[in-house]
Amino acid sequence: MSILVVGSVALDSVETPFGVRERVLGGSATYFATSASFFTDVNLVGVVGEDFPQEHTDFLTSRNIDLTGLSKVPGETFHWKGRYGYDLNEAQTLETHLNVFASFKPVIPEQYADAEYLILANIDPELQMEVLNQVKKPKVVACDTMNFWISSKPEALKKVISRVDFFIINEGEARQLSGEANLVRAARKILDMGVKNLIVKRGEYGVLMFNGATVFAAPAFPLEEVFDPTGAGDTFAGGFMGYLANTGNLTDEGVRQAVVFGSVMASFNVEAFSLDRLKTLSYPEIEARYRSFKRMTHFEGVSEL
Ligand code: AMP
């Protein structure tokens, strides 16, 4: 089953302790779509400016991502500039230039209106709602956001998250949205806002998934080299939704497997700047890391317990 993603397509300038890159390919929808494309067909809706290099379009097309919904308009592409210190879990936003994104009104092409799997990647929650209203009967909807929207449009965001199946945010955002420092309490408050399933990304500490009845914890894959965490969250979400769309398995077990595939995809993405690692990645490598993940987290039950 194919996935529809709506989000940002960007040129990013990123600084980490391991290097600097200027105006490289980025954006929430870009990372998501590329990651999901290893599992299923992806349709992308977004906007770029006239400065968006053809090589990036060619790359996305080479991943079989349908770009019918990616419009190119006069002006400059969305540009985000961020910096990471040695604590790679927290990005410091230095500049956000919305550019062509400022007047972006997502129009879902007719052939995508029946999409069953939909991801509202990180964009203005008012736009996320407009998209949600244009997709007729989605089976699974996931949504991401960021601190920028939690502080500027909290009410619009709350309306969106009460209508999605999986709300995927990082731990700082969970604390900010709930006003709770403790993550378990934060999760309860967010579920009380009408969220069905909450996935909290904790960078190098992994992921926690809450649904009100059970909690699932997956570690991050331990890596010796992390160069650039930009896009890790979107890459996670791409692997997660891509796997769900591929298998259609929405049981507790299927969703847990999807969380691990998401974690595997994110672990590859952080190994290089921009989407460089995803550009060389192959499906057998993904499977091999999934198997390592399984061995790493497996332990036997104690018979008397
Ligand atoms: P992540 O590291 O997964 O949270 O996502 C990083 C990506 O989000 C970068 O490639 C940015 O281009 C994009 N981004 C940053 N700020 C915004 C924003 N305000 N709206 C949409 N996308 C953004």
Residue 224 lies in a domain: yes
- Given this model, what pLDDT does residue 91 score? 87
- For the CA atoms of 41, 46, 47, 48, what is the dihedral angle to 10 degrees? -50
Residue 130 domain flag: yes
Q: Is the CA virtual torsion 16, 22, 28, 31 positive or negative?
A: negative
Q: What torsion, rounded to 10 degrees, do the Cα atoms 275, 84, 261, 158 define? A: -110
Which residues are CB-neighbours of 186 under 8 A, at least 6 positions away? Answer: 174, 175, 177, 178, 180, 200
CB 177 within 8 A of CB 150: yes
CATH number of the domain to which 213 belongs: 3.40.1190.20
- Please give the residue range of the domain that contains residue 200: 3-297
What 3-state DSSP class applies to 107? coil
Polymer length of the chain: 305
| Atom number in ligand 1 closest to CA 234 | 3
Report the half-sphere exposure of 130 (CA within 13 A, side-chain side): 13
303 located within any domain:
no
CA of 10 to the centre of ligand 1 (A): 8
Alpha carbons 9 and 11: distance in angstroms, whole number: 7
In this predicted model, which residue has the larger pLDDT, 242 or 305?
Answer: 242
Tens-digit pLDDT profile for residues 1-57: 899 999 999 999 999 999 999 999 999 999 999 999 999 999 999 999 999 999 999
For 233-259, give one letter per residue: b (16+ CB within 10 A) or e. Answer: bbbbbbbbbbbbbbbeeeeeeebebbb
Q: Is residue 176 part of a domain?
A: yes
* Chain centroid to CA 80: 16
Cα separation, 144 vs 275, whole angstroms? 19
41 falls within a domain: yes
Tens digits of residue pLDDT in 89-107: 788 999 999 999 999 999 9
- Would you say residue 304 has pLDDT above 80? no
Closest residue CA from atom 5 of ligand 1: 231
Which residue, chain included where needed, has tokens 């399933």? 197
Q: Comparing C-alpha atoms, which of 194, 188, 192, 197 is closest to residue 169? A: 197
SS3 string of 40-98?
Answer: CCEEEEEEEECCCCHHHHHHHHHCCEEEEEEEEECCCCEEEEEEECCCCCCEEEEEEEC
Total structural domains in the chain?
1
The token pair at 59 is 């790359």
Closest residue by Cα to residue 82 from 15, 134, 144 = 15
d(CA 22, CA 126): 30
Cα–Cα distances (Å) from 254 to 86, 162, 240, 242, in that order, read: 35, 23, 10, 12
CB 91 within 8 A of CB 68: no
- Confidence label for 169 from pLDDT (cuts 50, 70 and 90): very high
Q: What is the pLDDT of residue 86?
A: 85
In DSSP terms, 141 is beta-bridged to 118
The Å distance, Cα 7 to ligand 1 centre, comes to: 9
Respond yes or no: is residue 234 known to be catalytic: yes
The verdict on residue 305 lying in a domain is no
What pLDDT was estimated at residue 247? 97
What digits encode the pLDDT tens for the residues 172-229? 999 999 999 999 999 999 999 999 999 999 999 999 999 999 999 999 999 998 999 9
List the structure tokens of 196.
């069905």
Residue of 31, 93, 94, 122 with the most ligand 1 atoms within 8 Å of its CB, for mutation: 122
Which amino acids bring their CB within 6 angstroms of ligand 1? 8, 10, 12, 26-28, 80, 96, 122-123, 146, 148, 230-234
Residue 80 Cα to ligand 1 middle (Å): 7
What's the pLDDT at 89?
Answer: 79
Q: What is the pLDDT of residues 123-163, one digit of tens each?
A: 999 999 999 999 999 999 999 999 989 999 999 999 999 99
